[in-house]
Amino acid sequence: MNIRDLHYFVVLAQVCHFGEAAKLCHVSQPTLSMQIKKLEEELGLILFERSNKQVIITEQGRLLVMQAQKILNDVKQMKDYARAAADPFAGELRLGVIPTLAPYLLPLIMPVIQKTYPQLRVWLVEEKTHRLVEKLANGELDAALMATPVESGFDSQVLFNEPFYFACSVDSAFYKKKSIRSDQLANQPILLLEEGHCLRDQAMAVCQVAKAKALADFTATSFETLRLMVQAGLGVTLMPALARQNEHSDSLHVIPFADLEPYRTITLYWRNNTSRLICLKAIAELITKEIHKVLTNP
Amino acid sequence: MNIRDLHYFVVLAQVCHFGEAAKLCHVSQPTLSMQIKKLEEELGLILFERSNKQVIITEQGRLLVMQAQKILNDVKQMKDYARAAADPFAGELRLGVIPTLAPYLLPLIMPVIQKTYPQLRVWLVEEKTHRLVEKLANGELDAALMATPVESGFDSQVLFNEPFYFACSVDSAFYKKKSIRSDQLANQPILLLEEGHCLRDQAMAVCQVAKAKALADFTATSFETLRLMVQAGLGVTLMPALARQNEHSDSLHVIPFADLEPYRTITLYWRNNTSRLICLKAIAELITKEIHKVLTNP
DNA sequence: TAAAAATACTCCATAGGTATTTTAT
DNA sequence: ATAAAATACCTATGGAGTATTTTTA
């Protein structure tokens, strides 16, 4: 069976004249006759009674032409769907974000994305790096915002470098200081996130450079918890720049390093063969621009 | 677009593996790859992301595969319908019957038809001959029970000859007589049906043979009316055998002719190119048998 | 390196065209 | 006699196969 044949059938049922129907279908009369005949043979029944003067649709024909019309409607609808879905900035985009970035980045970029691409419905998944890598690999995600490096065969685009700041409580010896030197870090009780957060590894790397030792006694499950622990005077920590943007209260003292410029690199990752490349490149551009504005106007 | 391609698409969406899908579709892997590619080109979007290790359906693919499945379901349903409709003794049969036959023949045959072909839904249309001819010609009817001759190019099958009886009131001079000779008809006031009923013409033909003159002053619009007029003593008439079968009361005196054997021939007509030939032949056979039983056991 | 999809090519079924015949009014 | 569908026959598209190449994990 063939969709084209169903179209011939429906048109012939409407005009009940092989020559006319052939014209309407832009084919020759023998072609249409032949296809109708084949359709009848395939269905095992007679769709039309023919004579040289009139063509009459049979009862079975009347029954089946409705079904054929339904199929043609469905096909048309499918093509319409396809046309709509072919828009690179329409449909759903499933985006993964690491937890130490999500609550600070997303409020900044989601409104802009929604405004720029109103047809795009972005689903957000907040997971640690290794889960994002899994989900991206098996197709559960279209892209993921993670901190470099991520060893896996994804294609990626660097979005921005996010500096780390030194954060301590208002009771700290560094309160009212404008900056901190890396050697001053060695004496501080440095708090970290739990295992699995890339921010933990990045903070530890900074500690190594500064020859400081992180405090392993307490770990936090989220950066907001960590912030509270610092606020309570349990220790100090490294704070990503965007988290500092969120620091509206004066409950924490946040200052830059005087001699180091520690940072993490936030990158958008996707499968090499993603079908959403156009959309993702555009989103990457948009995030880069938007965050640049924020980070250069502190 | 092609229904076969949609099937390939749906299967591939299920197994997400070109080789596997090709096996399930009983085609080679390149064939399936090619058709999916063509489908993607036609729809103007990517349905699957491919690598050598995994095939992932895109969001657009997920959207469209449901539509494709719907089309395939509809096609299957259409084929199911066709299989059911291909039964010659199923579906609807639109049958015309002349008014002077319908009320006497139908009660005899319809129960048998329904019992023999329970899948057949017979629609009955009671009209005078010229309307039946029109409706049969333009396809509103599948067949018509009429009295010969009907000049028109229909194919037909003679079902039975229906004798005419002489009918008079119980007050008539013929009351208690067992038969009537045609020459005795000449003095009788013979009542007829209105113009357009073939029974009227047939009765007039008998009158001519019998050298009798029909009474033109009154005409009846139905044979039941005619029966009442005869009963009231307004005249006599010719009564078809099956109408006599219906004569349960003794309100009319009905007797055969002694010298003539007047009758009308009831025939089933259909378009030469009817699609219901098998069914109609069977129904014709059935009516012939059934009526033969009735007419030979008066 | 190996598994899987893509490509190259060949073949054949069939949709489509033109010319002609058949059919039924 | 005529209008319309069916048939005959040829062409070309494209679906399907086998063999091979490319890709990437």
CB atoms within 10 A of CB A119: 10
Chain A, 174 to 213: residues with Cβ < 8 Å from chain B are none
Q: What is the mean pLDDT of residues B58-86?
A: 87
Distance between the alpha carbon (CA) of B30 and the C1' atom of D14, Å: 14
Give the tens place of pLDDT for each residue, A16-43: 899 999 998 899 899 999 999 989 988 8
pLDDT value of position B272: 84
| Contact residues, chain B, for A273 at CB < 8 Å | 49-51
Q: What percent of chain B has pLDDT over 70?
A: 98
Which of A1, A275, A278 best probes binding to B when mutated, by most B CB atoms within 10 angstroms? Answer: A275
Q: Above 90 in pLDDT, residue A102?
A: yes
CATH architecture of residue range(s) A161-264: 3-Layer(aba) Sandwich (3.40)
Is A138 within 8 Å of chain B by CB?
yes
Among B63, B85, B139, whose Cβ lies nearest the Cβ of A85? B63
Q: Which residue, counting CA atoms, is nearest to the C1' of nucleotide D22?
A: B52
The structure's pTM equals: 0.75
Question: How long is the CA A134 to C1' D24 vector, in angstroms?
Answer: 18
- CA–CA distance, A38 with A44 (Å, rounded to integer): 10
Work out the percent of chain B whose per-residue pLDDT is above 90: 42
Nearest CA in chain B to A58: B275
pLDDT tens digits, B221-241: 999 899 999 988 888 999 999
Q: In sequence order, what are the residues at sequence separation of 6 or more whose Cβ sits closer than 8 angstroms to the Cβ of residue B243? A: B100, B104, B223, B227
DSSP B92: E
Domain boundaries, chain B: 3-85, 91-159+265-296, 161-263
Judge contact between A96 and A132, C-beta under 8 A. yes
The pLDDT assigned to B111 comes to 96
Which pLDDT score, from 0 to 100, does residue A249 have? Answer: 66
Does the CA dihedral A52-B148-B139-A56 come out positive or negative?
negative
**By CA distance, what is A46's nearest residue in B?**
B275
Query: Poorest-confidence range of A8-12, A61-65, A213-217, B293-297?
Result: A213-217
Q: Is the pLDDT of residue A218 over 90?
A: no
Nearest nucleotide to A31 (CA to C1') is C16
The C-alpha of B183 sits at a distance from chain A's nearest C-alpha, in angstroms, of 49
Q: Residue B147: CB partners within 8 Å, gap ≥ 6?
A: B98, B101, B129, B198, B199, B202, B264, B265, B266, B267
User: Can you name the CATH fold of B91-159+265-296?
Assistant: D-Maltodextrin-Binding Protein; domain 2 (3.40.190)
| pLDDT band with cut points at 50, 70 and 90 for residue B290 | very high
CATH class of A3-85: mainly alpha
DSSP assignment of chain A, as one string? Answer: --HHHHHHHHHHHHH--HHHHHHHHTS-HHHHHHHHHHHHHHHTS--EEE-SS-EEE-HHHHHHHHHHHHHHHHHHHHHHHHHHHT-TTSEEEEEEE-TTTHHHHHHHHHHHHHHH-TTEEEEEEE--HHHHHHHHHTTS-SEEEEESP--SS-EEEEEEEEEEEEEEETTSTTTT-S-B-GGGGGGS-EEEEPTT-HHHHHHHHHHHHTT--EEEEEEESSHHHHHHHHHTTS-BEEEEHHHHHT--SSSEEEE-BSS---EEEEEEEE-TT-S-HHHHHHHHHHHHHHHHHHHH--
Q: Going by CATH, does the domain composed of B161-263 fall within 3.40.190.10?
A: yes
Q: Is the pLDDT score of B84 beyond 80?
A: no
SS3 category, B245: helix
Nearest by CB: A274 against B49, B79, B276? B49
All protein residues with a CB under 7 A from any atom of strand C:
A 2, 4, 26-28, 30-31, 34-35, 38, 51-53; B 17-19, 29-30, 33-34, 36-37, 50, 52-53, 55, 153, 272-273
Domains A3-85 and A161-264 share a fold: no
Residues of chain A positioned with their CB less than 8 A from the CB of B273 = 49-51
pLDDT, chain B, mean: 89
Q: Is B7 on the interface with A (CB under 8 A)?
A: no
- φ, ψ of residue A56 in degrees (nearest 5): -115, 130
Does residue A246 surpass a pLDDT of 80? Answer: no
Let me know: does B228 contact B119? Beta carbons within 8 Å.
Answer: no
How, if at all, do strands B91-97 and B143-147 pair? parallel
